[in-house]
Amino acid sequence: MTQTITVIRGDGIGPEIMDATLHVLDAMDLGLQYEDADAGLVALEKHGELLPQATMDSIRKNRVALKSPLTTPVGEGFSSINVELRKRFDLYANVRPAKSFPNTKSRFPSGVDLITVRENTEGAYIGEGQSVSEDGATATLTQKITRKGSERIVRYAFDLARKTGRKKVTVVHKANILKSTSGLFLKVAREVAAQYPEIQCNEMIVDNTCMQLVMRPEQFDIIVTTNLFGDIISDLCAGLVGGLGLAPGANIGTDAAIFEAVHGSAPDIAGKGIANPCALLLGAAQMLDHLGLPEKATRLREAIVATLEAKDSLTPDLGGTGNTMSFAKAIASRI
Ligand code: NAI
Ligand code: MG
């Protein structure tokens, strides 16, 4: 089988972790072809636009992309190209697993195995009605939640539970305060949950969820929630299992899917060659599952675990003295 995937090398640590990830994938004999495409700051410099048509065309054609993080300016400047890609391809499900691994600097070296399913196309992140008054004294933002958007993400979470044999879905909301938006999400979630009687469903308010995650993360199996809450919760979950270097994410739509790390471009360590490549590698494992190659995905995950177990060439975030490429080579040698 030959499958072409779009590869976006990204900003900051992006190119370093992509080199490492492709090194490991190349060792796996997958028959994958890579088609490079630019997005974000790199694209702006090279092509004069943040999201070139050629990149859109490549993703549309290949339907699968592996993407490194893209930098978004804080508080001003252009809108997020990550959000834009999710919007343009209607990648409504952001699927972010967090699992305990051996020999990390985690407070939970075992017992965490959960997936955050984050709604990816609505809520606070779409930038509708974003404005600041002329005198700079008042800022506004519209948050929109729809029945359709809520239904498909909750259904995705329950179908994922069915498919993967998971037993419980926790619906995370703030419907006590955000009665319209979070209220609609919760109402629809209850309706969908009723159609999956074999899967346990519980509801939890988002602030309590954060506390529960830190105290007793083992109670969670699948979390389904709206866009902003899912973004924050998935970084929290990454922290539970040893940091952002271990947390991958898939952005899934009907016509395309983009696989990435949960983390950003990490400007504080960019160019030093010390970024942990595992988050993007685990994103690549999600991609292999999506491509119908679950045995290969399992092999990749097992090679990562074996390398962590052997403490071979681990990057500094895991307490090691290795670097991005030596870690990748150690993983590739166990494939
Ligand atoms: P970040 O996730 O880039 O970094 C947070 C902390 O985690 C930093 O201390 C960083 O060094 C560390 N870290 C992240 N990835 C790591 C890795 N692979 N190995 C070792 N340490 C790692 O978050 P930050 O600094 O808030 O954002 C930086 C930029 O990234 C911003 O422009 C933001 O918009 C963008 N971003 C992009 C995302 C994407 O492309 N999907 C997601 C999140 C942020
Ligand atoms: Mg985030």
Q: Which residues pair with 64 in a beta bridge?
A: 257
Q: Mean pLDDT across the chain, nearest whole number?
A: 96
CA distance readout (Å), 175 to 56, 57, 268: 37, 39, 37
Whether pTM > 0.85 for this model: the answer is yes
pLDDT at 188 over 90: yes
The DSSP output letter for 73 is -
- pLDDT tens figures, 15-43: 999 999 999 999 999 999 999 999 999 99
**Ligand 1, closest atom to CA 280?**
18
pLDDT at 216 over 80: yes
Contact 277, 20 (CB under 8 A): yes
pLDDT of residue 1: 61
Question: Three-state SS for 317?
Answer: helix
Residues with CB under 6 A from ligand 1: 13, 17, 69-72, 82, 244-245, 260, 263-269, 275-276, 279, 317
- Once rounded to an integer, what is the mean pLDDT over residues 204-223? 98
Please give the Cα distance from 322 to 115 (Å, whole number): 29
Question: Three-state SS for 238?
Answer: helix
For residue 322, the CA-to-ligand 2 centroid distance in Å is 26
- pLDDT tens figures, 29-85: 999 999 999 999 999 999 999 999 999 999 999 999 999 999 998 888 888 999 999
